[in-house]
């Protein structure tokens, strides 16, 4: 009897090709479409429901997923994880913004939805394996980079546990994106030419600041030149800015290039620095919380990514008190940002990750972060 695989179908070309390949390999394949966000109704900052603009075209995505499943001859189930997503992903997103940090909701979506709630539902459907269209590889419950390093998504999977990676299949792990497109076109898959989705699903194509203001009250404050201490403008709420940002900072009359280099949440101050490559963007150490190791190997030296598609930096790691991890990088790194993930690698293996709690330089916590 063929092994049963339940695959997450997003309506995009990647999950479509992943399902097609599994069917070609002889598995009994079942598609599962997850509805994680109510695209029609939101709550404003007072908790009142408001009719939203087309935040996330989930109905079109569902129709695309259905067309693909019909084309390759597999059933498609639909399940709502709206409450789970709100409780574990969106509420986390808001809490982090309130702290002045820059969260990455995709990591929490994978941890709590796609590899938790989804797995539980897949088991109810009798799954022997679960699968997704992620570009990654797994072996013996351990996580590895994908062949296509430009599309590799191990960064977003780095908060998963070995148990969550058990019985997981990543059919696209050894393919490049052009190869996936080619397979889709040759197989006549309806989503072959569909554009990749970008951004955060629950925001979609809407203006970020406008969307966030529905949930967090705007709180204008001073913009300060970190080098001179001079007030040079007014920001519209610290949640709208991230470290390293150089667009839409809100400073009028300044032609010189400038970057966001820090925030003071207590004083509601946004700090900027001027120049092509300001020294105040750089740090040499950070402290991680919510540390998660996938691999049993915990080395002293490895490499780290501080942002998705960022370069790998050589680092040393040291476990310290209260489950925190100290990460030092002798080659100073720009724009290391509290709230973002620091993902650790040993060669091609993703050994784990943590969430950046604080950033340091020359042994001192950066006072403006």
Catalytic residue among 56, 69, 109, 342: 109
Residue written as token pair 């913009």: 223
Which residues, at least 6 apart from 245, have a Cβ–Cβ distance to it below 8 Å?
A: 259, 260
DSSP 141-199: TEEE--S-TTT--GGGGTT--TTTTTTEE-TTTT--HHHHHHHHHHTT-TTTTPPPP-S
Residue written as token pair 């690698």: 345
Number of Cβ within a 10 Å radius of residue 89: 25
Calculate the CA dihedral of residues 50, 51, 53, 55 and round it to 10 degrees: 70
* The two structure tokens encoding residue 360: 């340091």
**Cα gap 220→226, rounded to integer Å:** 18
Strand 137-139 relative to strand 364-365, pairing: unpaired
Which residues, at least 6 apart from 131, have a Cβ–Cβ distance to it below 8 Å?
A: 5, 6, 7, 8, 18, 19, 22, 168, 169, 170, 171
The answer to whether 170 and 153 are in contact (CB under 8 A) is no
**Cα gap 71→320, rounded to integer Å:** 53
Is residue 201 annotated as a catalytic residue, yes or no?
A: yes
Which residues, at least 6 apart from 122, have a Cβ–Cβ distance to it below 8 Å?
A: 6, 32, 130
Residues in a beta bridge with 305: 343
Is residue 109 annotated as a catalytic residue, yes or no?
A: yes
**Cα gap 203→221, rounded to integer Å:** 24
Catalytic residue among 201, 286, 302, 350: 201
Residues marked active site are found at 109, 201
């Amino acid at each position: 009897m063929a092994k049963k695989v339940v695959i997450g179908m997003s309506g995009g070309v990647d999950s479509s090709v992943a399902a097609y390949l599994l069917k070609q390999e002889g598995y009994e394949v079942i598609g599962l479409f997850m509805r994680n966000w109510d695209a029609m109704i939101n709550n404003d900052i007072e908790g009142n429901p408001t009719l939203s603009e087309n935040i996330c075209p989930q109905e079109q995505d569902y129709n695309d997923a259905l067309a693909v499943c019909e084309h390759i001859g597999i059933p498609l189930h639909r399940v709502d994880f709206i409450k789970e997503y709100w409780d574990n992903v969106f509420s986390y997103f808001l809490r982090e913004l309130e702290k002045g940090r820059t969260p990455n909701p995709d990591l929490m979506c994978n941890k709590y939805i796609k590899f938790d709630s989804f797995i539980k539902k897949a088991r109810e459907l009798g799954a022997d394996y679960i699968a997704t269209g992620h570009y990654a590889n797994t072996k013996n419950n351990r996580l590895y980079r994908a062949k296509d390093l430009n599309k590799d998504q191990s960064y977003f999977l780095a908060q998963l546990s070995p148990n969550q990676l058990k019985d997981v299949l990543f059919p696209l792990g050894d393919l490049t994106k052009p190869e996936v497109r080619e397979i889709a076109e040759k197989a006549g898959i309806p989503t072959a030419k569909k554009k990749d989705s970008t951004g955060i699903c629950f925001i979609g194509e809407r203006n970020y600041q406008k969307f966030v203001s529905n949930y967090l009250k705007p709180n204008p404050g001073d913009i300060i030149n970190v080098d001179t201490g001079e007030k040079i403008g007014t920001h519209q709420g610290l949640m709208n800015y991230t470290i390293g940002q150089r667009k839409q900072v809100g400073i009028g009359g300044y032609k010189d290039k400038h970057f966001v280099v820090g925030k003071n949440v207590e004083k509601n101050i946004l700090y900027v620095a001027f120049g092509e490559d300001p020294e105040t963007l750089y740090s040499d150490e950070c402290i991680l919380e919510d540390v998660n190791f996938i691999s049993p190997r915990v080395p002293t030296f490895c490499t780290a990514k501080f942002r998705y598609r960022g370069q790998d930096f050589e680092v040393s790691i040291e476990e310290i008190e209260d489950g925190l991890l100290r990460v030092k990088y002798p080659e100073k790194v720009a724009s290391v940002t509290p709230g973002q993930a620091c993902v650790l690698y040993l060669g091609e293996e993703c050994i784990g990750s943590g969430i950046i709690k604080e950033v340091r330089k020359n042994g001192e916590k950066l006072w403006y972060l």
